[in-house]
Amino acid sequence: MSERGSGATAAVEAATSRAAGWWSACGNAGGRASWTRGRALAAPAVLTAVLLAFHRLVPDAPGHLGSLLESFLPWSGLVITVLFGLALLRRSGVALVALLLPVAAWTHLFGGLLLSGTKPGGPGLVVVQHNVSDENTDPAGTARSLAEAGPDLIGLEELLPAALPVYERTLAARYPYHAVVGSVGLWSKLPLSDVQKLDIKPAGITEPWSRGLRAVAHTRHREIAVYVAHLPSVRLHATGLASSWRDESARLLGEAVAAEELHTVILLGDLNSTADDRGLTPLTSRMNVPARGFAFSFPAVFPVARIDQVMARTATVGRIRTLHPTGSDHLPVVARVTLG
């Protein structure tokens, strides 16, 4: 046997010996206490499992606590990891067994997002969604970066009048068709028609506000209604999440999707919400969301949530991923939408 093989065998034997020693400690007089110690760790493990499995039962009032929990639900995996480490340090068998519950619940909710998935078949479109930020100092560089991903459709939000000509000029060669309504825009390799403003303005907003458009993209296979939307921002206060305007705007957008006469709809937007947030139920109840990929998009410096969304009706959204940072505080997201 080579020295490398001998060294590997020795390392395996050492690791096995340590593991055997640990389990031996759990099995004899000293280790028997492992099934009684660590109950303080078992309690938060069970609570985490309950919150994961029954998060829809958490009341939204006061302070939209249910939405707040659901916005950061994937990060409960960190809680599970910390509890697992503490259970090992405490050599607590009861805590390790209790941790099986949140692990199972988290895997059921989010495990599929970690899978690579199979390459989708059939006709489809590659789409990019990006909030370019009204403080972006490099719109030309942002436009070039998005075009390099080669999408068929690009949905943009927070377009300023001063920056709009830069996006139009930079994207014109690859994207001859585009539509802009208010502060949102759609660039396309496909012909566009029937561009309309989407009225998703909450009643409480009195100043000029236009953040939604609808256009028809003409593919070789069918006409597709493409929506680009930017829902109102939310604010986190000591009393909870202020999201009433966003929720109202999501309801209006969901009603527009429900009334859409074309069979297939693709939605690109900064929805200021995660797909798990009940505030987006008017949309997620009517549309398909990505089944693969986390693609946390905000904030760009340390993304903690995907609030930039790609959804579709009568079509499947494939694995979603982020692109390289631009001059925005959001990361762009890209996905392939397979036409059903």
Give the DSSP per-residue string, 180-194: EETTEEEEESS-EEE
pLDDT of amino acid 14: 58
Residues above pLDDT 70, as percent of the chain: 87
Q: Which ranges in the chain are annotated with CATH 3.60.10.10? A: 124-339
Residue 19 in this model has a pLDDT that exceeds 50: no
pLDDT of amino acid 115: 83
8 Å CB contact between 116 and 302: no
Average pLDDT score, the chain:
89
Residue 97 in this model has a pLDDT that exceeds 50: yes
CATH number given to 124-339: 3.60.10.10
pLDDT of amino acid 281: 96
Residues above pLDDT 90, as percent of the chain: 74
How many Å apart are CA 303 and CA 308, to the nearest integer? 11
Predicted model pTM = 0.85
8 Å CB contact between 266 and 227: yes
Mean pLDDT within 174-183: 98
Query: What is the pLDDT confidence band of residue 29, given thresholds at 50, 70 and 90?
Result: very low
If one compares 289 and 34, the residue with the highest pLDDT of the two is 289
Give the chain's radius of gyration (CA, Å): 24
Q: Are strands 223-230 and 264-270 parallel, antiparallel or unpaired?
A: parallel
Mean pLDDT within 210-238: 93
8 Å CB contact between 153 and 226: yes
Mean pLDDT within 110-132: 86
Mean pLDDT within 157-171: 98
Residue 26 in this model has a pLDDT that exceeds 80: no
Residue 254 in this model has a pLDDT that exceeds 80: yes
8 Å CB contact between 56 and 233: no
| Least-confidence region, from 37-41, 191-195, 313-317 | 37-41
pLDDT of amino acid 227: 98
